[in-house]
Amino acid sequence: MRQQRTAVRRTRSRGAALFGAAGELLITAGLVLALFVGYSLWWTDLVADGRSGQAGDRLRRAWTAPSGAASPERVYQAGDGVGFLHVPAMGRDYQVLIRMGTSPDVLNEGVAGVYQEPYRSALPWDASGNFALAAHRDGHGAKFHDLDAVGKGAAVVVETRDRWYVYRVDAVLEQTSKYDTGIIAPVPEGSGYRGPGHYITLTTCTPVYTSRYRMAVWGSLVRVDPVDAQRTPPPELRTG
């Protein structure tokens, strides 16, 4: 009888040890996952913000040179800086550097990238077309994290060396397939536009913290303002 009780105690002891080890493994796995999420979101945001800030400063310095960038005659290559995107609905001082291309090498730098495929985006100064941009929703700067806050009638402003291009949001597509390339076509499908014009499209992943679907915000050009010596922003960007 005593031997049976001893055997039971040993079995229970082994079981408790196994459960304890399994619990420790789960806790360790949870900590590793938390660290990974922290890296993916917070750390990549921090690094990307630093890099995009430095790149933006370099572009502004280039604009002050006699042969500065952002000339309509210039041929832009992947990674080249085009200008800056301002969207007050995503924050009073919201500004993001715009670069050519939408590859991870470009977007992971914390910028808004200009689509080059499957449609080559028009640039703001072109005769007509769709200036289509993409940026990360989470991590790597998360520049379009709050794109869902941009609604119909909101202002979207593109700043170049010599011009402010002021757009007004006309339509929002909350969710579509990530394979829906029509949303960035020269005349975006689903936008309500019926023919060629001067359009802008902002795209990102949705829902938040996933890449399952895409969302799109479409706007049309309202006017073009020249940049003065003080780079006074248009009324849509003034805070009083």
What digits encode the pLDDT tens for the residues 40-66? 556 788 888 899 999 999 999 999 887
Confidence check: pLDDT of 234 > 70: yes
End-to-end CA distance of the chain: 88
pLDDT band at 21 (very low <50, low <70, confident <90, very high): low
pLDDT tens for 93-145 read 999 999 999 999 999 999 999 999 999 999 999 999 999 999 999 998 999 99
Superfamily of chain region 46-237: Sortase (2.40.260.10)
Check: CB of residue 226 under 8 Å from CB of residue 234.
no
Question: What's the average model confidence in pLDDT over 148-164?
Answer: 97
Confidence check: pLDDT of 37 > 70: no
pLDDT band at 36 (very low <50, low <70, confident <90, very high): very low
Query: Could you state, in order of their start, the residue ranges of all structural domains in the chain?
Result: 46-237
pLDDT band at 5 (very low <50, low <70, confident <90, very high): low
Owner of token pair 């990530």: 178
CA dihedral 90, 88, 144, 111 (to 10 degrees): -140
Catalytic residues: 205
pLDDT tens for 178-187 read 999 999 999 9
**What is the percent of the chain with per-residue pLDDT over 90, rounded to a whole number?**
70
Paired tokens of 104: 């991870």
Q: Can you give the pLDDT at residue 175?
A: 97
Q: Can you give the pLDDT at residue 47?
A: 85
Check: CB of residue 44 under 8 Å from CB of residue 37.
no
